[in-house]
Chain A
Amino acid sequence: MADRRRINGPVGTTNPPIYDDAPEKQSEGVKVARSRPANVIRRMYLKTGVTPSASGSAYLEIESSGNGGSGLKLSCSVHGPRALPRSTPFSPHIILSTHVKFAPFATKQRRGYIRDPIERDLGTHLETALRGSIIADRWPKSGVDIIISIVEGEQDRETSKAQGIEAWDTMNALSGCITVASAALADAGIDCVDTVAGGVAALVQDAGDDAAPSIVVDPIPSEHEKVLAACCIAYLPTRQEVTNLWFKGDLPASDMDVYTQLIEKGIQASKSANRVLVDCLNETVG
């Protein structure tokens, strides 16, 4: 028996009406093209020691794009090194645990409080990147927690509804996570072989039919017609070593040169980020 006392909504789902004006605006060329040179990363602001209760912390902010979107804002806190609970088996090394979490309001689509697969995946990447830089055998039987919250994700108001862009944004988020976590680790005084920083490079195609694909560092996906491939690299500049490499895209196997160039540009982006990181740490010490 249906409930007659109340006015019920329709059975089943309906889609909210969406008014069809945005695509026209896009075709008019409202999109802001990339104004930076191809090998320059966006400006970033990095500060360590922002959370007094943590043993190390850092905050990173990356400038937003020209499309009226939001930049990336990350805050990282490091707790430890501290003794592991008695129940855990002996470990000759420090045990890293990384948590990356988008704030529920960080992206266009609301994120829940439970970490979703993308966040867990980012956490694994971050762990790989950091484990290479930490001198883990100086702290046996201890653990350290690295917690990153992405306060504001990088999303453009106009273009994020177009598909497939979120996937490329995770790479930018990861590179930010690596840089900020490295700063926080240094702030916590945990011994590292070098400061590791993240860098992203992408093979993009700009608007226009005959435009050849080009490689840019620190890409903003919405500024380009299409992203063909991208890579995120965590690099140790003094040792000239890569601790984490994440490449994604679609490249013909005959184009190994493009792949090599992409990696080189990623390293270059990482070096630029590292300069900011080292300056920031010097400022804190000095």
Chain B
Amino acid sequence: MASSQHVLLSPAELAYLHASLSLTPPIRPDGRSPTQFRPLVAETGILPGTNGSARICFADGTEAIVGVKAEVERTRTRHDFPSLDESAEDDDDLDDNQNDVVKGDNDWVEMTVEIPGYRDDDAGTVFLSAMLSEALLADGEFTKRLWINQRFHWKLYLDILLISPPLSYPLPLLSLTTHLALLAARLPRLKSEGDEDPLFDDDWAAAPYLYPRPSEKGSKATAPAPAARPPVTLLVMAVGNNIIFDPSKEELAVADVALAVSVGESSSSTTSTTSSKPTAMDIDTEETKGHNLRLLSVRTIDPPSRLTPPGIPNASNSAYGANAGAKDTEKKKQQQEQARTAESEAVEGVWKAPRGGAKTLVMATMVQKVLEKGGVADEVLDALDGVDLN
């Protein structure tokens, strides 16, 4: 499994790492602050044969490529869709109707994750792709973008390739690369109207973006879906009460709990339209500045720390005379009891794989740190704004 790959650290090293990460403020091995991300190189539009593509390279040498390909597919008619003749009857309110009719299906998106050295049906790989597609499909708005007319839709293939060996848990890398590829993705401009067989414009320069840019007002008006940007999945871990973002492999090896938090953003203009939706009851406060974040999914990730080898305290180590001279049974019994407490109680400076789960308070704080105003998700989205989309 991708998250629990073997970490070659001794119990003593793990104990040291755990102690330094649980200080206030935590001291990370690479000197970053708790919320700081690793530096990365990003570019988009690297694959001319795709509808959108991106590449991100992290400073630790992990690198991922994502290609987005779209195909036109015939929509299977379902009987719970409004029937065709119904909308044809009142041609004059067709425009009003059209927005209601736009429907998406989760089958229209197919995501594959390829990680070198792992089978594609490996549990970790499946988990990664389930997590990424879950975030993308969570609000149900994304698939509406793929709607062409009542008879046809786009089928979107998202192929995520990790081209370096997985040196750290690749989730943030894959998620950021997918985000950029979707932002850069364009679909040919539709020339046909209504429910005709779709006919597209040859001019690639006229192709609208899948996620319209805020500057392109014209295309935004026709776009049915409100979500302004694809989701981003962030990896957060906690050691003691310290919350640490974008952990490296070594840091993850001592995590008490690790969470993957997916955050989306809906454009501020749509808050007024969705106010009929009950969840938007207190978004009336207009936020023109900053991002309008939405929480899409949270998943616990099995931290590899549970699989690390434990250290042995001196009290129960025979090399330090733990069992020496235990001739009489009385003494032996006492020592066994001591060994039992040593097994269950933490000894200062001796590494022990974490047992049990995480406190709810710590988990809630982790999610809150991601979502709060000016928090990490805001920062990441701002940083991604700086990537040149060509």
The interface of chain A, by Cβ under 8 A from chain B, is 15, 18-20, 22-23, 91-93, 115, 117-118, 120-121, 123-125, 127-128, 131-133, 135-137, 161-164, 167, 193-194, 203, 205, 211-213, 228, 231, 234-236, 239-256, 258-260, 263, 267
Distance in Å from the Cβ of A169 to the closest Cβ of chain B? Answer: 14
Contacts of B123 in A (CB 8 A): 120, 123-124, 127
A131 in complex: contacting residue of B140, B298, B302, CB < 8 Å: B302
- Could you say which of A22, A136, A242 has the most chain B C-beta atoms within 10 Å of its C-beta? A242
CA–CA, A193 and B354, complex, Å: 12
Report yes or no: A117 in contact with B139, Cβ–Cβ below 8 A. no
B83 within 8 A of A: yes
Give the contacting residue for B140; candidates A92, A164, A259; CB below 8 A.
Answer: A164
Contact of A251 among B106, B279, B285, B307 (CB under 8 A): B279
B80-A245 in contact (CB<8A): no
- CB-CB contacts of B268-310 with A at 8 A, as 1s and 0s? 0000000000111111010000001111111111100011111
Which stretch of B62-70, B125-133, B183-191 is in the interface?
B125-133
Q: List the B side residues contacting A245 at CB < 8 Å.
A: 259, 298-300, 363
Q: Min CB distance, B128 to chain A, in Å? A: 10
What residues of A have a CB within 8 angstroms of the CB of B368 in the complex?
A: 256
Closest chain A residue to B76 by CB distance?
Answer: A15
* CB under 8 Å from chain A, chain B span 136-150: 138-140
Whether B294 lies near A267 (C-beta < 8 A) is no
B359 in the interface (beta carbon within 8 A) = yes
Q: Which residues of A contact B126 (CB under 8 A)?
A: 117, 120-121, 124
Give the interface residue-count category, chain B.
Answer: 35 or more
Q: Within B101-146, which residues are at the interface with A (CB < 8 Å)?
A: 105-106, 121, 123-124, 126-127, 129-130, 134, 138-140
Contact assessment for B138 and A193 in the assembled complex, using a CB-CB cutoff below 8 Å: no
- On whether the beta carbons of B283 and A23 are closer than 8 Å, the reply is no
Whether B293 pairs with A242 at a CB distance below 8 angstroms is no
B283 touches A252 (CB 8 A): yes
A231 to B310, CA, bound (A): 33
Shortest distance in angstroms between A241's beta carbon and chain B's nearest beta carbon?
4
Q: Is B367 an interface residue (CB 8 A)?
A: yes
B142 vs chain A, min Cβ distance (A): 11
Does B295 lie within 8 Å of A253, measured CB to CB?
yes
Q: CB within 8 Å of A: which of B65-81?
A: 76-80
Q: A92-B310, A253-B371, A267-B360 are in contact. Are A167 and B106 (CB under 8 A)?
A: yes
What separation, in Å, do the CA atoms of A118 and B1 have in the docked complex? 16
In angstroms, Cα B377 to Cα A245, docked, is 20
Number of A-B contacts (CB under 8 A): 169
| Cross-chain contact B358 with A128 (CB below 8 angstroms) | no
**A249→B360 contact, CB < 8 A:** no
Write the residues of chain B forming the contact surface with A, with a CB cutoff of 8 angstroms.
Answer: 1, 76-80, 83, 105-106, 121, 123-124, 126-127, 129-130, 134, 138-140, 259, 263-264, 278-283, 285, 292-302, 306-310, 343, 353, 355-360, 363-364, 367-368, 371-372, 377
What are the residues of chain B within 8 A of A131 when measuring CB–CB? 302, 306
| Cβ contacts under 8 Å, A212 to chain B | 278, 281
Q: Is the CB of A256 within 8 A of B371?
A: yes
Q: How far is the CB of A167 from chain B (nearest CB, A)?
A: 7
Shortest Cβ gap from A235 to chain B (Å): 8
Q: Given A18-B79, A164-B106, A256-B368, answer yes or no on A247-B302 (Cβ-Cβ < 8 Å).
A: no
Q: Which B residues lie within 8 Å of A136 (CB)? A: 306, 353, 355
Residues of chain B contacted by A254 (CB below 8 angstroms) = 282-283, 285
Contacting pair A163 B105 (CB below 8 A) = yes
Q: A117-B126, A120-B123, A164-B106 are in contact. Are A137 and B279 (CB under 8 A)?
A: no
Q: Which residues of A contact B372 (CB under 8 A)?
A: 253
Which 4 pairs show the lowest CB-CB distances between chains A and B?
A241-B357, A243-B357, A253-B293, A247-B298
Which chain B residues lie closer than 8 Å to A263 at the CB level?
360, 363-364
Least distance between B359 CB and chain A CB atoms (Å):
6
- Residues B282 and A242 in contact, CB atoms below 8 Å apart: no
Shortest CB distance A132–B (Å) = 4
B145–chain A nearest beta-carbon distance, Å = 16
Chain A residues in 8 Å Cβ range of B301: 128
Instruction: Across the interface, name the chain B residue whose C-beta is closest to A228.
Output: B279
**16 residue pairs from A and B, CB less than 8 Å apart:** A18-B78, A19-B79, A120-B123, A128-B302, A132-B306, A132-B356, A205-B278, A212-B278, A228-B278, A242-B359, A246-B298, A247-B297, A250-B279, A252-B280, A259-B364, A263-B364
CB nearest to B257 among chain A residues: A242
Contact B138 A248 (CB under 8 A): yes
Determine how close the nearest CB of chain B comes to the CB of A283; give it in whole angstroms: 26
Known contacts A117-B130, A194-B356, A250-B139; 14 additional CB pairs below 8 A are A22-B80, A91-B307, A93-B353, A120-B127, A121-B126, A124-B124, A124-B127, A132-B306, A137-B353, A213-B279, A236-B357, A250-B294, A254-B285, A263-B363
In the complex the two chains form, is B80's CB within 8 Å of A246's CB? no
The residue from B80, B297, B308, B360 contacting A240, defined by CB atoms under 8 A apart = B360
Distance between A116 CB and nearest chain B CB, rounded to angstroms? 9
